[in-house]
Structure 1
Amino acid sequence: MKYIIPILIISILKLPSFAQIGNYISSAKLKETLENEQLIYRMSQNGDSMGYTKAIYFVNNIEAGYKEEVSAIFSGKLMEEQINCVYDLQNDKFKSAESDITYAGNTFKFKGNWLDSNKIQVKVNSLDTLLIPDEHLERTFSIFILPRLIYNKDINVRYLQFNSMDLRFRQISASVDTSEKHISTKFGVKNCSVVSLKGGVAEQDIYVDKETSRIVRIVIPAMGWEYDLIDIRSN
């Protein structure tokens, strides 16, 4: 896929067999679903511990979103990551996203502000540009918030996902399986729906507790990665 800097134009593929993602995201739904809390996940690869992810959810009358703090070992090297994704509840649209990643001595910094008509004013290290995609979801939002909004319906949805790591937009399909899946967790056995994301950088299965809407497990089969909920804290 070719990109034109500073202007990038992407068109979303319309497939009638999939519902459009905009039908399932709203300020009202975010206020209803999210709580001000921290969810701590143990990260592992093929059973070996890699580190921890702290998922911080926040919601008030003005904005809602997700912050992530990661400290993990990849290929024998320390990776530290901080992410902040904000949704504007008053205008029912994305507001901003930031990430700061350090790995093997290299630093990656991203800052994006969502303007009108889905435009994104982007700054990545020394690059400053404007992206003009069609309707889309920021990647972190699509992994850690979207499944909590759609887990209770057997649906298939398709959307365009924006990845700040490479400034690329990818077609994602999300399918929901609400049949009973009993998962053993630190908090007992949980009956979960499974939201499967396909088409991104890594396909993954996200297990959402039907009782609380919390994500209790994320599995990335191709990489042997697993995230397991081990602690719940108030903000």
Structure 2
Amino acid sequence: MNANKPPRQPFIYHVCRKDIEEEPLDELVQRFWKIEAEGTLPEQNEDSSLDQLAVQTMENSICHNGERYQIGFPWKPVKKLQNNYFSAAVSQLKSLQKRLQNDPGLNQRYNQTLQTDLDKNFVKPVEMQAPPPELIWYLPHHAVTNPNKPGKVRRVANAASKFRGKSLNSNLLTGPDLLNNLVGVLLRFRQHKVAVLSDIEGIFMQIAKDKKTSLLFVSFG
């Protein structure tokens, strides 16, 4: 090696591939403006036949019972529910009872949620019919607590509980998505000087009955 010869500089290669086609400019611009307009334009999605059926069920069954408005369940055209009492509902109820027996404080607060709903007529006791309905489904429930809200307990109805691969949720139509786009909500939130927020205390599932179906809420005193 010649000590007086300067070191060689590394070569840098730029490889251009001609076999890759560039995206057309008009499509790039359209995609750019679509992203920029996200949440500001109304969505135009055509409702499916099942979504239309769910809306029709709501419109045909809505009524005022003297205290509040109520609507029927948006059942799918073919209901596939079997009696889940012994194999699913009872076992989940026993698990809940065991949990409450091991936590007297939780047990007291949980029973208070039941009593509050009874006092407000959100739920009501029912008796087994003789003979039982053709289709019957027991809806398990459980306690949910939040460490950030000590002393508060919510009773949640588990409509996703499955029996033989089926649940109450899987037999109900979801209906069209009526929620506002979150991006649009945030943008409109800054549109005026004053913004108003509201909330509801709770949503409760009533006992529903028709000629062929009964939905019973399993609970204990």
Q: Normalized against structure 2, the TM-score is what? A: 0.25
Q: Which has the larger radius of gyration?
A: 2
Higher relative contact order at CA 8 Å, sep ≥6: structure 1 or structure 2?
A: 2
